[in-house]
Structure formats: structure tokens, C-alpha cells
Structure 1
Amino acid sequence: MVRAPLSMASRPAVSERQEQIYQAAARLFSEVGYRATSMRDIASALDIKAGSLYAHIRSKEDLLWEIVSRIADEFDAALRPVAALRGSCAAKLTAALEAYVAVVARNLGFAKVLFTEWRHLPPERQALIAARRDRVEQVFREILREGVASGEFVPTLDVRLTAVLALSGANWLPNWYRVGGPLSPADVADQFVALLLGGIRRGTPREET
């Protein structure tokens, strides 16, 4: 039986070498894909022998599991405070997207692995990751539902589709975002929110036409 992922607070500490292995694996998995990356490739990236990897990790699958679990932990930790926020739903949506985009932007390789490579896990582990991704999406759905119920957002809003749209834009960041570029993570999130609110806020020109 596969146990549920540990939270960041309870996840065992890793050694410096383990961290180097995770970082190298995440880079390769994100650049060329999980299936196309061998343990020899990871070892070569670290300038060590492939057999030496097994002194620190058990398998390539466990590397993938650790990478996607760690980034999932970060999303959980970043979005948890949003549920306790007071104020408008527009402000909550902004806070949620800013938190989510910030996690992606500081973990581009790990995030891309989660978004694109998690389906290479065995079914039981896929199910655990899928459930965690659903919980993240649920944070956005709840904000949108609250906005509809309060009259802040249009009553015809498709909550699920809008949540997927919001997250899909952020999930594409690893393909184009560059740290140190002209846009900060907050700039990206704010532009996403502005586009979303232009279509879902009650009283916008779109609704009145």
C-alpha cells in the first residue's frame, strides 16, 4: 500500500547529495521527459557513477514520486492561508493565483514534472497525486462559487471551467517564464486575474451586452 504524501513539516530531511539528485532529475524529467531519462543520465549530470545513485535513492520511480510530492506540498502550504482570508472574492482569487504562480515560478522544473510527467507513476500513486491536484482546484472553485452566491460574479459562471482556465494559464509558466525577466510572478498573476475578472465580474460590459 502506498502511503499518502507527507507534509513539508513531516517529510524527512534529505542529504545534500539527495537534494542534488532530485534537482538533476527534475531538470532532466522536465527537459526530455521521464521515460527518456535514464539513471545513467542523472548520474552523468552529477558526474558520478550510476550505481552510486542507489546509495541515496531506491529507483527512478521514487525520484519522480518525491519530486511531484514535494511540489504538491508547496502548493498546499501556499494556498492554505487563502481559505482564511476575508474580503471580496476578487481579492481572494488574486491572492490564490499569486500564491500558486509564485510556487510555479520558484520551482519551474519541479512544477513542469508535476504537470506533465505524473502519469508515469503507477496507478495507486497517480490516484494520490490526482486527488491532491483536485484539492488545489477546489480552492479556486470555492472562491468562484462564493463569488456567484454573493452576486460578485455573474450567475451563469461555469465554476469548474473557470477554475481550470485559471490554473491552466499558470501551469503553462514553465514553458515560457524566465526568472529575472520583465515580469515578476505577481505581475503574471495579476494579469491573469485581470483577464479572468473582465469576464466573470457582474456588471462588466460583457454581461451587459
Structure 2
Amino acid sequence: MIEPGTRRREIDEVASELFHANGYAATSVRDIARALDIQGASLYAHVASKEDVLWSIVDHAATAFEHAADAATTEADAADPVDGLAALVEAHVEVITADPERSSVFVTEWRHLSPDRRAAIARRRDAYEARFRETIADGVAVGAFRATDPALAATFVLTALNGIATWYRPDGRLSADRIADHYVDLALRSLSEDHR
């Protein structure tokens, strides 16, 4: 017998793949059930709705990004915004490359949530983005970064990072570590005082 939690995780994994490939709106409950090799009605023994599946995926991804950022900021030199931003970028890349489908769904499909759930995720996304914005602002304050608008700079960095989920393949040309190294370098160079 399959444990309920195991089946639920399997549903989220399969739905992440389908939502990533086809989009939330174009994926039906029947598509998810078919990919799991179960009847559509059987899926409802584990989930109340397709939106509940999306919520589970997005909530799990948000938590993964938050925990990674917490760990990164704990390990980084708090007095060095360059080190702090490098740690945040590296952590973000690690989350995306560990589960690109779920990350992609988090980045692109969260807008399909009900208004209350969408607002909850928007608040979490805003708080997460604030970590980047504040780190960049700290870097500007000490002369390490040259960003006239730290909020725009944070959006620039996060947009570049989130794009990884659209093209990353675990069996691709670059390892996750190499990608993280490149993106840290690109982010720091684009914001550096020496960059012209």
C-alpha cells in the first residue's frame, strides 16, 4: 500500500512537471491522473482541487527559497554586502537547479491561485525580494555597488535567476555549481562600482 504522504508528493511532482511543460491553465485534473496512471476520481481522494495542487507546489517552493535564503544569510559575512549578495544568488540557483519544474511553477503559475492564496504568496515573494533589495542597498551605502535604484537592481537579479528554470537541465553542459558561480559573477559585476 502507498502511504498517503507518498502519493501526495507524487501528485505534486507529476503536476509540477505538467504545469511546467504546459502551464496550469492548460493542464487538467484528468491529465494529472493519466500521468499518475489513476482514475480522475481517485485523484480527489488525495486533493480537493487542481488549485490545491498548485497551492501545495507553490507553497513548498516558497518555503524552499526562504529556507535557502535564511541559511545563506546566516553563513555569509553580515558586514559584507558583496558576500551577502553572492550567498543569496548562490542559494537561489541551488533551489532552482534542485527542482527546476517546481521552481518554474512558483515563478510563473502562482498568479492562477485564488485571490487570498495569491496575496499570501505575493507577501512572501515581496519579503524574499526585500532580502536582495536590502543587501544591494547596503552595498550601495558602503560603496560596493553602484545601483541608483536597489529595488530595480533586485528585480534585475531575480529575473535573471528565475530564468534558469526555463532552460536548466541536470544533464546539460553546465553543472548547478558552475551555473551558480557564473550567476554570482554576473550579478556582482553588473552591480560593482567598477562596472561601466
Q: Does 1:48 align with 2:38?
A: yes
Cα distance in 2 for partners of 1:120, 1:81 equals 30
2:112 alignment partner AA: H
Q: Which 4+ runs in 1 deviate beyond 4 A?
A: none
**Partner residue of 1:35?**
25
* Superposition deviation, residue 197 in structure 1: 2.3
- Deviation string, structure 1 residues 96-117 (Cα, Å, up to 9, x no partner): 1110110011111111111111
Structure 1: gaps of 5 or more residues? 1-12
From 16, 24, 32, give the equivalent of 1:26. Answer: 16
- Deviation string, structure 1 residues 64-102 (Cα, Å, up to 9, x no partner): 000000000000100013333315222211111110110
Q: Does 1:76 align with 2:48?
A: no
- Deviation string, structure 1 residues 34-55 (Cα, Å, up to 9, x no partner): 1111111111001111110111
2:143 alignment partner AA: G
From 64, 68, 92, give the equivalent of 2:54. Answer: 64
Cα distance in 2 for partners of 1:78, 1:205 equals 28
Corresponding residue pairs, total? 192
Structure 2: gaps of 5 or more residues? none
TM-score by length of 2: 0.92
**Partner residue of 1:197?**
188
Cα distance in 2 for partners of 1:62, 1:196 equals 35
1:88 alignment partner AA: D
- Indicate conservation of the 8 Å contact 1:83/1:139, yes or no: no
Q: Does 1:118 align with 2:110?
A: yes
- Indicate conservation of the 8 Å contact 1:94/1:189, yes or no: no
**Partner residue of 1:96?**
88
* Superposition deviation, residue 205 in structure 1: 5.1
SS of 2:109's partner is: helix
Instruction: Label 1:110 to 1:14 Cα distance change in 2 as closer, same or farther (>3 A).
Output: farther
From 151, 161, 173, give the equivalent of 1:160. Answer: 151
Q: Does 1:150 align with 2:142?
A: yes
1:64 alignment partner AA: L
- Indicate conservation of the 8 Å contact 1:61/1:121, yes or no: yes
* Superposition deviation, residue 150 in structure 1: 1.3
- Deviation string, structure 1 residues 120-162 (Cα, Å, up to 9, x no partner): 11111111111111111111111111111112122x5320111
Cα distance in 1 for partners of 2:161, 2:195 equals 26
Cα distance in 2 for partners of 1:134, 1:185 equals 26
Identity of aligned residues (%): 42
